[in-house]
Amino acid sequence: MELRRLTDRVFYTMFNKETDRPVLGYISGQKRSLMVDSGNSKNHVECFYEAVSHAGFRKPEIIAITHWHWDHTFGMHAVEGVTIALQKTNDKLAELAKWEWTDSAMKERVADGTEIEFADTCIRTEYPSLSEIRVVTSDIIFDGYMEIDLGGIVAEVHHVASPHSEDSVCIYVPQERVLFIGDAVGVDYYNNCYLDKDKLRSLMTAIEGFDFDICVVGHNEPVSKQKIVQVMNSLLER
């Protein structure tokens, strides 16, 4: 894993399709640094820390979560720092923390529609030993908006409407003109891949309101503001 530079103070790691590992972000401030999402496992976190160390940076003191889905949150127990999540995200994680992570329990959740087959397959690939799965809630919760002073740079955490998940959060770094959106531009995989176009329009309005050049998405290469708006317009016309 490699920490890739977007600006002098904002970096990211690549996604991995095999086990659905998402992009992770690193925002470097003078006083502290911030990690965007916690990855999908302890191994994912350790790979991220190795990349951060190799680049000559300190481990992030703060970890901000974009939404509850397993690939963005199952590494939370392994991070060394304070985790921050939306109240809705934390509520969902509290629910998942009560689940049994056994072969039979997971098969039952897929059968009754609680879990989707794609996530189940990727979880099993990431976790050869299901007993290693550990779901935790965040240290700090917020609603709506939160600003994090990292020293010479701020990270603005915004709850946004999204067709992908009710708890979607964008992390905006105005000084660097970078916006992390997680999987906000996407269908709802837990509702038969439904695309709520009203929510997508609201999301597009929110994203267009941020003054940024680079948009970091959860499972693809970063794109320009023009490109992400173009993608949303294409989805609306679908």
Single pTM value for the model: 0.95
Q: Which amino acid is at 142?
A: F
Query: Which residues lie below 8 Å from residue 118, measured CB to CB, with a gap of 6+?
Result: 20, 189
Is residue 174 within 8 A of residue 148, CB to CB? The reply is no
* Cα–Cα separations (whole angstroms), residue 65 to 87, 130, 160, 175: 11, 23, 13, 21
Specify the CATH number for 4-236; select among 3.40.190.10, 3.60.15.10, 3.30.70.20, 3.40.720.10. Answer: 3.60.15.10
Predicted local distance difference test score (pLDDT) of residue 161: 97
Instruction: Scan for tokens 């990855």, then name that residue.
Output: 39
Q: Which of 141, 144, 189 is nearest to 163 (CA)?
A: 189
56-58-64-68 Cα dihedral, nearest 10 degrees: 80
Neighbours of 129 (CB within 10 A): 7
What's the pLDDT at 18? Answer: 87
Quote the strand ranges of the chain, DSSP E: 4-5, 10-13, 24-28, 33-36, 62-64, 82-86, 140-142, 145-149, 154-159, 169-173, 178-182, 214-217, 223-224
CA distances from 195 to 115, 162, 227 (A): 18, 9, 19
Q: Is 116 left (phi over 0), alpha (psi -120 to 50) or beta?
A: beta
pLDDT along the chain (238 residues), means of 10: 96 93 97 97 97 97 98 98 98 97 97 95 96 97 97 98 97 98 95 95 97 96 97 93
Exposure class string for 66-75: b at 16+ Cβ within 10 A, else e: bbbbbbbbbb
CA gap 166, 67 in Å, rounded: 8
Query: Across-strand partners of 188?
Result: 194
**Ranges of H-type helices in the chain:** 42-54, 70-73, 87-96, 103-111, 117-126, 197-209, 225-236
Domain boundaries, the chain: 4-236
CB 173 within 8 A of CB 163: no
